[in-house]
């Protein structure tokens, strides 16, 4: 068989999303961010929203998201993505605006912005990547770090009496009147990747329909911060993270 026969359109199994830029990503091998970027690029392109989508990227591991997905981006200060997204959505209501936030961003320094934007029902999509640790700055404890989980600042494990309970920020957002769709998913298996893509698409459809705030939490791994291999991280996540942060829809109006 000639190479020309192999690369024919009918023989194609998979191709890189059109909106995913052809550059090397800075994420660690095994990181979930790259998969989530792929899903966002696919959904935006398939929905024909490339010219109408604005992403807001704050500080954190995903600070350089604008290098990878070919849509308009605005970089926000740490934790301020929902506030910036609010302005963008109100100024250009015909656009679809989404934030891309980690747990340190949404559930720590940006807790107020996240909660109040959702409570107001701003017409935005919040993509929330929860790996239960501060990945970029050295593996410190995050608000979502599990009880007993070891981090750079909890070397003997997180303690309730000293560090408090893990903050279930997505559950809080689901209780607010301004949210129309809140779901918690993952990208650790092909089936979960397909399901998460469907959830992201639904969130964008809600934004087009002006239904309010949609939140898609993606329970993820941080093998560098967790000091594990990618395979071990996925197994640890299944055994521990899903018990505290169970997958599924929390709200769907």
Q: What is the pLDDT of residues 13-29, one digit of tens each?
A: 777 889 999 999 999 98
Q: Is the pTM of this model over 0.85?
A: yes
Q: What is the pLDDT of residues 86-123, one digit of tens each?
A: 999 999 999 999 999 999 999 999 999 999 999 999 99
Please report which confidence band the pLDDT of residue 135 belongs to, taking 50, 70 and 90 as the band edges.
Answer: confident
Collect all residues with Cβ–Cβ distance below 8 Å to 243 and sequence separation of at least 6: none
| Pick from 106, 92, 94, 104: nearest CA to 132 | 104
- 177 in Cβ contact with 212 (< 8 Å): no
Three-state SS at 204: helix
Chain center to CA of 215: 9
pLDDT attached to residue 2:
63
- The half-sphere exposure of 3 on its side-chain side, counting CA atoms within 13 A, is 0
The Cα 246–Cα 71 span in angstroms is: 32
Q: What is the pLDDT of residues 175-194, one digit of tens each?
A: 999 999 999 999 999 999 99
| Domains along the sequence of the chain with CATH | 17-252 (3.40.50.970)
Sheet with 248-252, side-by-side order of all strands: 72-75, 53-57, 96-102, 125-130, 213-219, 179-186, 248-252
| Pick from 62, 172, 182, 34: nearest CA to 107 | 172
Q: What is the pLDDT of residues 226-239, one digit of tens each?
A: 999 999 999 999 99
C-alpha distances in angstroms, 134 versus 60, 62, 238? 8, 12, 19
Q: What is the pLDDT of residues 66-76, one digit of tens each?
A: 999 999 999 99
Chain center to CA of 221: 12
Q: What is the pLDDT of residues 148-172, one digit of tens each?
A: 999 999 999 999 999 999 999 999 9
**Partners of 202 in the beta sheet?**
none
pLDDT attached to residue 6:
62
pLDDT attached to residue 195:
98
**Which range scores top for mean pLDDT: 8-12, 57-61, 107-111?**
107-111
The Cα 248–Cα 229 span in angstroms is: 26
């Amino acid at each position: 068989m000639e190479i020309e026969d192999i690369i024919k359109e009918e023989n194609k199994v998979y191709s890189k999303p059109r909106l995913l830029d052809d550059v090397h990503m800075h994420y660690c091998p095994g990181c979930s961010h790259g998969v989530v970027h792929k899903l966002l690029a696919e959904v935006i392109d398939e929905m024909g929203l490339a010219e109408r989508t604005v992403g807001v990227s704050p500080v954190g591991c995903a600070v350089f998201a604008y290098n990878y997905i070919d849509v308009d981006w605005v970089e926000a200060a740490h934790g301020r993505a929902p506030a910036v997204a609010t302005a963008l959505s109100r100024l250009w209501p015909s656009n679809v605006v989404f934030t891309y936030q980690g747990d340190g961003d949404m559930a720590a320094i940006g807790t107020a912005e996240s909660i109040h934007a959702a409570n107001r029902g701003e017409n935005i999509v919040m993509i929330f990547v929860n790996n239960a640790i501060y990945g970029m700055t050295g593996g410190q404890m995050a608000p979502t770090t599990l009880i007993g989980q070891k981090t750079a600042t909890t070397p003997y494990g997180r303690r309730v009496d000293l560090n408090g309970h893990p903050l279930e920020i997505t559950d809080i957002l689901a209780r607010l009147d301004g949210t129309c769709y809140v779901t918690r998913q993952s990208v650790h298996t092909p089936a979960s990747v397909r399901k998460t893509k469907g959830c992201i698409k639904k969130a964008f459809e809600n934004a087009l329909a002006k239904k309010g705030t949609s939140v898609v939490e993606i329970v993820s791994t941080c093998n560098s911060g967790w000091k594990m291999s990618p395979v071990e991280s996925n197994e640890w996540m299944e055994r521990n993270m899903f018990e505290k942060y169970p997958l599924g829809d929390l709200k769907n109006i």
